[in-house]
Amino acid sequence: MSIRTGMLTCFLLLTLPASAHQPYDSIQRFSVQNDENIQLWSCTTWAVRPEDRVLWVVPYHCLTDENGVILLQAHWKIGKQSVQMFRLAPLYDLALLTGGPAPHGLRISFSQPSVRQAVYSVGYPHGSTVQHVMTGTFSNIDEDGRAIFGLPVAEGFSGGPILDHNNMVVGVVLQQECPLPGNFCAVTRAATVDQLRAVVFGESA
């Protein structure tokens, strides 16, 4: 489904070392590999620490094949470390994994996105092991509750956290078709912060 807003914000795409910003060690590359340890695809994942437990947030669709079947957990990697399923929330396109590295984790905001809010996102384009940063503002929140914040976004950014100026998570990167062929709009759902809190902390969405 195409998103036509008439107003899209241009983003600056930067490549920065992981040590350049405090939250970056909590944002990692998630990959799905086959039995020969060949990568099939990758997404971006990030850590939270409810009750001092390290959990990794990843889009549910990144765990499945083209038919929506969940692939074997043995094929899930964060960096070179294997991770396991902890909790699934397919209704929200969210999943929590356990295992892997143990960084400080990110904090989830209590506030939903707002138009013209300055945000940034960190992710791993498919095939890259280097973090990339997108900065900009939310340009529109459409009638379906999608907050649009950039054009284009690279494959592999799915799942990346959208952070405000306090480094708190206000959304998760999704990819939707854009009016321009071959490009993707980076969007999130306005309700994602509530859904994240429900999945991570057991609160009502």
Q: What pLDDT sits at residue 16?
A: 40
Q: What pLDDT sits at residue 177?
A: 55
Q: What pLDDT sits at residue 18?
A: 39
Which amino acid appears at position 79 of this protein? G
Model confidence pLDDT, tens digit, residues 96-130: 999 999 899 999 999 888 888 888 888 998 888 88
Task: Tell which residue, 119, 105, 112, 111, has the closest CA to residue 164.
Answer: 119
Using a cut of 0.95, tell me whether the model's pTM lies above it: no
Residues with Cβ < 8 Å from 2, sequence gap 6 or more?
176, 177, 178, 179
Q: What pLDDT sits at residue 30?
A: 94
Q: How far apart are CA 33 and CA 167, in angstroms?
A: 31
Give yes or no for a contact between 148 and 140, defined as CB atoms under 8 angstroms apart.
Answer: yes
- The pLDDT averaged over each successive group of 10 residues in the chain (205 residues) is 31 39 81 86 93 91 88 84 93 92 92 88 86 84 76 77 92 67 63 90 70
- Taking residue 10's Cβ as centre, other Cβ atoms within 10 Å add up to 9
Q: How far apart are CA 189 and CA 82, in angstroms?
A: 29
Q: What pLDDT sits at residue 15?
A: 39
Give yes or no for a contact between 147 and 113, defined as CB atoms under 8 angstroms apart.
Answer: yes
Give yes or no for a contact between 115 and 138, defined as CB atoms under 8 angstroms apart.
Answer: yes
- Token pair in block for residue 129: 């092991």
- Extract long-range pairs of 49-54: CB within 8 Å, 24+ residues apart: 49/104, 49/105, 50/200, 50/201, 53/98, 54/98, 54/100, 54/101, 54/102, 54/103, 54/105
3-state secondary structure of 156: coil
- Token pair in block for residue 149: 């914040």
Give yes or no for a contact between 115 and 140, defined as CB atoms under 8 angstroms apart.
Answer: yes
